[in-house]
Structure 1
Amino acid sequence: MPKRLCRGCSEHLCKNCSERFGCPREHLYLVVDDWSSGYNIRKINLSSGSGEGAVQCLPPGFMNVEAERGVSEFFTSAFGTKIMATHPNLPEFPVPIIDLDRKTILPGPETNCPAHPIYFPVGNKVYALDIGTFEVCHWQPNPTFSPLAENNWRWCQLQRPLFSRLRICSYAVNEQKQTIFVSIKGDTVATFSFDIGESMWERYGQWALPFNDRGYYDRDLDGYVGLSKDPESLGYLYFCDMTRTDTDSRLCPCPVVERSKVKVFNKNPAEIHLSATLMYMHHSKFCIVECVSVDDVKADQALHELSGTEASSGSIYMYRVITFTIRYNRRSDLKVKNYRVQCYKVPREATSELIHEDPVAFWL
C-alpha cells in the first residue's frame, strides 16, 4: 500500500498529518544546566523555523532536575517520552526517571555505569555500555503501576562486549532487526553487532561506521545516517546501508558510503562551531542542535543583523536548531532538502562544560 503524503509539504508526516491521523505529536526537548541546583528542561516548538532565523531567548523551563551541573553524558531518552538522568551521587533518587507527559520525576534503579556511559534506548528497554560493564534496564508498566515498585524498573547484567568502551567511535540501533551496532578504532578497526533477541555480541565487519557518535537507521532510505565531527569533514552527513551479501565470509563487507554534497552547519565566518547533536525525527527527517560561539565585534554585528538588537561585547553562545530531510535525486545523489533554522541564545548561567559538550537534546 503506498504511503500517504501531506499535499502541502510532501512529507510522510507533518504536523497537520499527525493530528489528522491521530498520531501523538513529538517535540524537541533541550536540557541546559542554567539552574543553580541543576538542569532546566525546555520544550521547543519547531513549527516557526525559517531559512535564516532571528535569535530568540529559549522558552521558560518545562521541568527542572536537581543534579550535578556540567555533566551531560548521564542523560538519555528512555521508555517513550521519558528521560533518564543517571548522574552519580544524586541527593534523592539513585536514577531519576523524568516523565515528560506527566511532568513528574520517578525514582529508578541504581545503575552500574558511573564513568563514560553510552545509552541505547530500544522500545521499553535501555541498554547501557560502560567500562567493564554492559547492562539493560527493563520497564514493565502495568495497570497498578507504582514508581517505587522494584519490579517496574530493574537493571540486568549482560555479556560484556568484545572491545573496550574507550575505543568506541560510532554506534547505531536498528529496532526492526533488533540489533545494536558499535564501531571501534585504534590498533584495529571493526564493527560489532549485539543481537537483542539472542543477547549476544559478534564481530560484524572489519570496518567502522562512517560517522561519529550516534547514527540512525531510516527505513525509507534503508540505511544509517550520521554526522561527521572530524575536522576535515566536519558538518557533512554520511550514509551507509550495511547490508550483508552472499559471500563465503561470515563478516559483512565494507559498505558503500555516501556523503552529502553540502555541510549542514552554518557557514557564517563570524561563528565558531563548538558542538552538535543529531536527532532522528521520522521518515528521513532529522534535527541538529548546534552550539556556536560568536566573539567580540563579530558577535555584535551578527546578532544585530539577525535580531536587530544591540549585543554586548565578549563571547556570545547560540544554539542553532536545524531541521532538514534527506532525499535521493534523479542521479541518486544524497540531497539535503527543506532546510530550516531557529536560533536561540544560550543562557548566561549555563556552564562552560555543558556548552562545549554535545547539546543534551531529545526528539520525543
Structure 2
Amino acid sequence: MSKRKSSSSDDERRGHHAAKRRPKLAKKKKHLYLLVDDWERGYSVRKLDVDAFDYCDAAETDDLLPLEQHQYFTDPPVARIEALHEVSCHLTSHGTKIFAMQPGEGKPAIPGFDTHTHGVTICPWPSCQGNNYSNPLFVSVAGDKLFLFMDVLAEVLGDQPPYDSKAPWSWTTIKQARPPFFTGKVLCHAMHPDGRTLFVSAGSRRRRRPNRREEHYYSESESEPEPESESSEQGQGTFSFDTERLQWTKHGDWVLPFSGQAYFDAELDAWIGLCGERNCAGFLCSCDVVAAADEFITGASPPSWKLGQEKLFMNRQQLHLGVKLLYMGDSSFCLVESLIHKEDDHLFRDESILHVDSQFPLPRRRVLCINTFGLKYNKKGELQTKPRRAGACITYKRPHDFGESLSLTPSAFWL
C-alpha cells in the first residue's frame, strides 16, 4: 500500500509542533555601562546591573534620588580603554561595542570594547582622521551601520569582517550624504520607528511664546519670551536622512523640542527625550513622530509635544555638569547625571570658573546620580513617571585636574 502524501496543512502542523519543541534562546540581558574617567590613561568600563538598585517611592521626594545616598565603585572595571581626557574625545556605541573614536593623533587605530564578549578590538580611523574632526555626529543604525557626519563629509563604517578574513575593516565616504547643516549646531536627533530614517534638528531655538502647559514652569520674575521670528538661519530646521537611499530631506525651519538623543517608545507612541526648550531643563517631553521622507508633505506644521510633569533633577544647578538619558525598552528609562561633589560647592562661589575653558581646575571628585523609572500618560493625557523608581549615586575621583571629558556629559550606554 502506498503511503498517503502529506498535505501542506500536515506539514505546517508538524512544523508548528517542532517549533514548539525547540527551546527558545534566552534573550541576552542588558546592562548599564559607564565609561568613567578615573584612569590617568583613559577610561574605566564599569558594568552595572540596574535590577540591583535600591527602590524608592516617587511620592517620598520631589527629586529622584538624594545625593546623600552615595557609594563608591568596589569591583574592578571590566576593561579599560586608552583615550584622551578632553572635550574632543568622542565615545560612541555601535551594536554591542563601545568605541573611543578619538584616542589621540599618534594612535594607529580606534580601540573598542565588546560588551557581550568582553573582547577588545580595534577599528580603523575614518578617512578624515584628525582633519576637521570637531563636532562630529555619530549615529548607529540598527546595529548594522555606524554613520559619521561632519560639516564637509559623511562616512559609514561597514560590517566587521570575520576574524579569519584578510579583508580590511574600513570606512566609506558618502559625498551625497554631506549634511545640510553644521554638525556643531545639532540640537537633537532621533531614529524614526521605521528603523532606517534619522531625524536631526540643528540651528538655534528661536524664542516663542509658551503654551498654557508651559506657562506654569516659567518664573514670575522672568520676562515672557518674545514671539518667534519669521526669519531662519542657513542650515536651521529639522532634517531627515534615509540611511538606505542616502538622501537628506528638510521638513521645515522648526526644530524638535529635545536636547540630545530622543527615543521612540511604542507603548507611548511618541519620541521621548530631555526637553531642550527654554526654561524646561530637567523635564522630559514626548513628541509626535514626524512622517518619514517618503510620506512627507511639503509645508507640514511642527509636531505636537507634551512637557512632562516632574523635573527630574533640581535644587543642585550649581553642582550639575551634564546628563544623559537612555532608553531601556518597554517605556523604561535610565537617567545618568554628572555632578560636582556637594562638599566642593564652596569652590564655585565665582561662576566664572565653571567654564571648561577656564584656567581654574574643576575639582576631581565626581558624583554619578543614576535613576531608572517608567513613563506613562495619566488620565489627563499628561506625561509622568511611574511611582516606583530605582537608583544609585556613585562617587569617584578623576586622576588629574585639567582636561574635562565629553563636554561634561556622562558617557553611559544601555547594551
**Residues 145 and 56 from structure 1, CA distance in 2 versus in 1: closer, same or farther, beyond 3 angstroms?**
farther
Shift in Å at residue 41 of structure 1?
0.8
- Matched letter for residue 410 of structure 2: P
CA contact (8 A) 1:33 1:70 kept: no
2:96 alignment partner, one of 66, 81, 85: 81
Give the equivalent residue in structure 1 for 2:203: 185
Distance 1:81 1:72, change over 3 A: farther
- 2:214 maps to none
Unaligned runs of 5+ in 1: 1-19, 300-313
Could you say if the C-alpha distance between residues 231 and 351 of structure 1 is closer, same or farther in structure 2, counting changes exceeding 3 Å?
A: farther
Amino acid at match of 2:249: E
Distance between the aligned counterparts of 1:323 and 1:350, measured in 2?
30
Structure 2 equivalent of residue 11 of structure 1: none
Q: 1:65 aligns with which of 58, 78, 81?
A: 81
Q: For 2:186 and 2:152, how far apart are their aligned partners in 1?
A: 13
Q: In the alignment, is residue 319 of structure 1 matched against residue 338 of structure 2? A: no
* Structure 2: gaps of 5 or more residues: 1-23, 57-64, 205-231, 347-362
Q: For the residues of structure 2 that align with 1:358 and 1:154, how far apart are their CA atoms? A: 27
Tell me whether 1:288 sits opposite 2:335 in the alignment: yes
Preserved CA contact (<8 Å) 1:68 1:90: no
162, 172, 194: which one aligns with 1:176: 194
The answer to whether structure 1 residue 56 and structure 2 residue 101 are counterparts is no
Residues 256-313 of structure 1: CA deviation (Å, up to 9, x unaligned): 1101011111x355962111011111111111110122444879xxxxxxxxxxxxxx
Rounded to whole Å, the distance in 1 between the matches of 2:303 and 2:400 is: 41
Name the CA shift for 1:248/1:181 in 2 (closer, same or farther; >3 Å): closer
- The 1:145/1:331 distance shift into structure 2, 3 A limit, reads farther
Relative to 1, partners in 2 of residues 1:351 and 1:250: Cα closer, same or farther, differing over 3 Å? farther
Q: Please give the residue correspondences for 1:118-157 in structure 2 after superposition, counting only pairs within 5 Å.
A: 118-122=137-141, 123-142=143-162, 145-146=164-165, 149-150=167-168, 152-157=169-174
Cα deviation for residue 21 of structure 1 reads: 7.5
Q: Offset of 1:135 from its aligned partner?
A: 1.3
Mapping 1:38-49, distance limit 5 Å = 38-49=42-53
CA separation of 1:183/1:83 partners in 2, compared to 1, >3 Å: closer, same or farther? same
What TM-score, normalized to structure 2? 0.71
Task: For 2:390 and 2:84, locate their aligned partners in 1 and report how far apart those are by CA, in whole Å.
Answer: 34
Q: 1:218 aligns with which of 265, 280, 292?
A: 265
Q: TM-score, normalised by structure 1?
A: 0.80
Q: Does residue 105 of the first structure (1) align with residue 120 of the second (2)?
A: yes
Query: What CA distance in whole angstroms lies between the structure 2 residues aligned with 1:248 and 1:64?
Result: 45
> 2: CA distance between counterparts of 1:234 and 1:274?
13
Whether the 8 Å CA contact 1:271–1:294 is kept in 2: the answer is no
Q: 2:286, 2:42 → 1: CA distance? A: 37
Q: Does 1:115 align with 2:115?
A: no
Instruction: Measure, in 1, the Cα distance between the counterparts of 2:394 and 2:97.
Output: 24
Return the alpha-carbon distance in structure 2 between the equivalents of residues 88 and 67 of structure 1. Answer: 4
Q: Distance in 2 between matches of 1:291 and 1:348?
A: 13
Cα 1:355–1:158 shift into 2, 3 Å:
closer
* 1:90-101 equivalences in 2 (<5 Å): 91-101=106-116
- More displaced 10-residue stretch of structure 1: 50-59 or 203-212: 50-59
8 Å CA contact 2:88, 2:406 repeated in 1: no
Higher fraction of strand? 1
Q: CA–CA distance in 2 between the matches of 1:212 and 1:145?
A: 42
Q: In 1, are the aligned partners of 2:155 and 2:171 still within 8 Å (CA)?
A: no
Return the offset for 1:36. Answer: 1.7
- Given the alignment, which residue of 339, 343, 346 partners 2:389? 339
Alpha-carbon distance in structure 2 between the residues aligned to 1:166 and 1:292: 24
Measure the CA separation in 1 of the matches of 2:377 and 2:52.
26
- Please tell me whether Structure 1 or Structure 2 has the larger radius of gyration of its CA atoms: 2
User: d(CA) in 2 for partners of 1:255 and 1:332?
Assistant: 16
| Residue 31 of structure 1: how far off its partner (Å) | 0.6
Take 2:286 and 2:97, find their aligned partners in 1: how far apart are those partners?
A: 29
Contact 1:270 1:295 in 2 (8 A): no
What SS class does the counterpart of residue 202 from structure 1 fall into?
strand
8 Å CA contact retained: 1:293, 1:316: yes
Instruction: State whether residues 89 and 103 of structure 2, in contact with CA within 8 Å, keep that contact through their aligned partners in structure 1.
Output: no
Q: Distance in 1 between matches of 2:369 and 2:114?
A: 26
Shift of 1:166: 2.3
State the shift of 1:345 in Å.
Answer: 0.1
Instruction: Give the drift of 1:29.
Output: 0.7
What is the distance in 1 between the residues matched to 2:135 and 2:253? 25
Aligned to 1:354: 405
Choose from 298, 304, 313 the match for 1:256. 304
SS at match of 1:166: helix
Native 8 Å contact 2:364 2:401 kept in 1:
no
Distance 2:113 2:316 in 1: 39
Q: From 32, 38, 50, give the equivalent of 1:34.
A: 38
* Number of residue pairs aligned between Structure 1 and Structure 2: 326
Corresponding residue SS for 2:309:
coil
State which drifts further: 225-234 or 159-168.
225-234
- The list of structure 1 runs, each at least 4 consecutive aligned residues, that deviate by more than 4 angstroms after superposition, is 268-271
Alignment map for 1:221-260 (pairs within 5 Å)? 221-228=268-275, 232-244=279-291, 249-260=297-308
- Partners of 2:32 and 2:296 lie apart in 1 by 45
SS at match of 1:232: coil
Measured against aligned partners, the alpha-carbon deviations of 1:85-138 in whole angstroms (never above 9, x if no partner) come to: 211535544222322223232221211262121111112111111231211111
Cα deviation for residue 351 of structure 1 reads 5.4
